[in-house]
Amino acid sequence: MRISVTYNLRTEYNEQDAELLSQEDVDRICTALSELKHQITPVEVSGQPNEIVERLLESKPDLVFNVAEGTIGSSREAFYPGLFEQLGVPFTGGNASLLHLNLDKHLAKTVVEQKGIAVPRGDLITAKQRQLPANIRYPLIIKPNSEGSSKGITQDSVVETPEACTRRINELLPAYPAGLVVEEFIAGRELSIPLLEAYPGGLLEIVEHTFDLGKLNSKFNIYDYDMKQGGSRMAAVGIVCPAPLEAKEKRRIRSLSRRIFSFMNCPDFGRIDVRLSAEGIPYFIELNPLPSLHPMGSLMAAARACNLTYKDVMRLIVRSAARRFDIPLRTPRRTRHEEVSLTSQRPTARELGITVGRMKQGVHNAITDVPGVMVGHFSRIEDNLKLPGIPGVTSVRTGVTAVLPAPKDLPKRRLVAGGFVLNGVGEMAGLTQVLEWGWLETPILLTNSVSVGRVHHGVISHMQKRHPHIGVESDVVLPVVGETDDSFLNDVRLGINTGEDAQKAIAAATGGPVAQGSIGAGTGMMSFDFAGGIGSSSRTLMQEEGGFTIGVLVLSNFGRMVNLTIDGNVVGRRLNTQFPKAGRRENSYGSAIVVVATDAPLLASQLSRLAKRAALGLGRVGSHAASTSGEIIIAFSTANRTLRSVAMPDKFLTLKFIADPFINPLYEAVIEATEEAVLNAIFCSGGMNGREQRFAPAIPQDSVNEIIKQKGD
């Protein structure tokens, strides 16, 4: 791609030019883009507009990588995006209105406050308007309204008395006639939340700036101009990423940031600065839609914490802009093969305040709440892969998930099991034996459609290593392997999942919290046009109902956005209008595999009936079991176990089971848990890109909460 890098060069190292880029900054950006195999032309855009247009058009860009800050006036940043729009040239970053709004700090805070987000109380002070709100509380901070890079901010910017405030205003106002923001100083932690829109989930790790007030000889932790420019005071500033926050604080700050980036319509990259007060309230300070790309800046610190290199950041910014302007872009050159960690997971539906049903969830709200059940994942996220005999490169987004029904003694001691096929355009190898015999004797593996055979072989190899008598002293085992089709994001032609991957998923299985979203077999799956494949939930019955636990794990890969229903609210109708129709999965409705576990003693026939009720949970989320879809459910109980026939000493078996009149609470529990598991598959994913520049977005959690709240008003 031909990319022109537009910038304003800093030739004088004074405060007036602090926002401009040094030649080193420009070279760093151009080098990274060149290493990504783009054709780069640096275009300095200071000077007369006609000269700028001439230089820009001469470079013949497919895309402008814009880092121009401007040199004149309070709309200086907005000039360049406005020019690009008039010329019809695609560009990275926000448009003119976004940059104009957010350079005006007071105006941006007014807009944000209207959305119900906390901002410091204050006002804009100009030569004509010098009256502060009567209820304003000291100390105050005073800073130029239309400047960046901490211009005009020193350790004297915080004032504690009206007299000091007046003196500071009189000192600054002649130098900054566009006005000063005078607002309450929020004593607390200084945090930044960077955005890379093309990074799964969008938000990077939260960055905290810490201050050694002893070294600063100051009462207040403020990031002043000297620090921003790497002066002597910089030694007193620390950068911590990820910021050490409580889970509740982190969720609140990330939720606030997502809302602001969304309604401000900030594309590609950006940064929000907040102050976290001593009371735990996050206050919006500013949004920077043109943040620094310096290696020591907040955005790059957060990127490093997410294992992204400088070149990765450039690639993601370009990818995001190319997607917006529908510019063809080859598959990224970076190759990655990794297991996704639990720490990358977004909050579950329940953690966001969305409750499903009336019954109590288990400790981990997962299938592992059933004693003895364990879950493991192995994920593949790889780019720049060659297809034999086909030009170009491609990507894979796939993996394997293992559900271990019992910690040991499979297949020697089998579990009672059953199942149900709501719609059969799918596959679960081994289910026919389960339905015929009513027994489960292997782990349950989940993967994609073309990997069933390899995963099946991997499970057999695993079982034979643990139980050498299989196929010699006893009959063979038939593993249970379920699949759904991830070919929208994953290039299934490579058939990349292996038997070894299946064994790694089994080896990774543990109890406790279950990693959910785009992970394991769900890495490349989509639910209701959003990213997310693996979800889990559980319910526990009251003691008078038996005190049993029902756990569900889903491989969710079905549905249309317009039908998405959450706790009875068809939120998909509204969401469907917020997302472009182009780029969605059109030719497949998808499928779902549901695994149900319980410690309630049940017969095989009762478990099959339980599995049927799980299908109602799929319907409550919005499934209509389309003709091209496969919805297959398997259910097992850990309460009744028996020896395989070759080792069985007695002719008769005695099983304890719940009488049918008392089974209804289990039916209700499995419906609720299935519904919530599908929601968690979506809510826990941060989005996923894939082959041919395709992208499955993350569900906008804040929008969903707002829609549900409005329905309840």
DSSP 8-state assignment for residue 667: H
Contact 227, 239 (CB under 8 A): no
What number of CA atoms fall less than 13 Å from residue 392's CA on the CB side? 9
Q: Is 320 a catalytic residue?
A: no
Q: If you search the block for the tokens 């490349």, which residue do you land on?
A: 524
* Nearest in space to 487 (alpha carbons), one of 554, 413, 559, 396: 396
Between CA 505 and CA 446 the distance in angstroms is 10
Q: Evaluate whether 376 touches 404 at the Cβ level (below 8 Å).
A: yes
Structure tokens at 32: 């990274």
Q: How many CA atoms lie within 13 Å of 231's alpha carbon, on the beta-carbon side?
A: 15
What residues form DSSP beta bridges with 427?
483
Chain center to CA of 369: 25
Cis peptide upstream of residue 411 (ω within 30 degrees of 0):
yes
Given the residues 146, 192, 218, 591, select the one marked as catalytic.
Answer: 591
Q: Helix axis angle, 664-683 relative to 604-621, nearest 10°?
A: 40
DSSP for 160-175 reads: -SHHHHHHHHHHHTTT
Q: Which of 617, 592, 588 is nearest to 529 (CA)?
A: 588
**CA 491 → CA 387, 482, 557, 681, distances in Å?**
9, 19, 16, 21
What proportions of the chain, in percent to the nearest 5, are helix, strand and coil?
Answer: 35, 25, 40
> What are 393's strand-pairing partners?
386
CA distances from 668 to 538, 540, 542, 544 (A): 12, 11, 13, 15
* 681's tokens: 């598959």
**76-87 vs 49-58: helix axis angle to the nearest 10?**
50
The answer to whether 325 and 90 are in contact (CB under 8 A) is yes
The closest alpha carbon to 600, from 674, 656, 544, 668, belongs to 656
Cβ atoms within 10 Å of 15's Cβ, excluding its own: 15
CA–CA gap between residue 328 and residue 316 (Å, rounded): 14
Q: Would you state the structure tokens that stand for residue 131, as one six-digit string?
A: 């009256």
d(CA 548, CA 552): 14
Instruction: Report the C-alpha gap between 106 and 284 in whole angstroms.
Output: 11
Cα 646 from Cα 242, distance rounded (Å): 56
Residue tagged active-site, from 183, 631, 672, 675: 631
Separation CA 618–CA 634 (nearest Å): 14
Q: Is 34 a catalytic residue?
A: no
DSSP secondary structure of 585-629: --S--EEEEEEEEE-S---HHHHHHHHHHHHHHHHHHT----TT-
In sequence order, which residues have a C-beta less than 8 Å from that of residue 522 and are 6 or more positions away? 399, 401, 516, 532, 533, 534, 535, 555, 556, 557, 681, 685
Q: What SS3 class is residue 192?
A: strand
Cα–Cα dist 514/445, whole Å? 15
Please compute, for residue 534, the number of CA atoms within 13 A of its CA located in the half-sphere on the CB side.
Answer: 34
Active site includes 631?
A: yes
Catalytic residue among 298, 518, 629, 685: 629
- Which positions are catalytic? 591, 629, 631
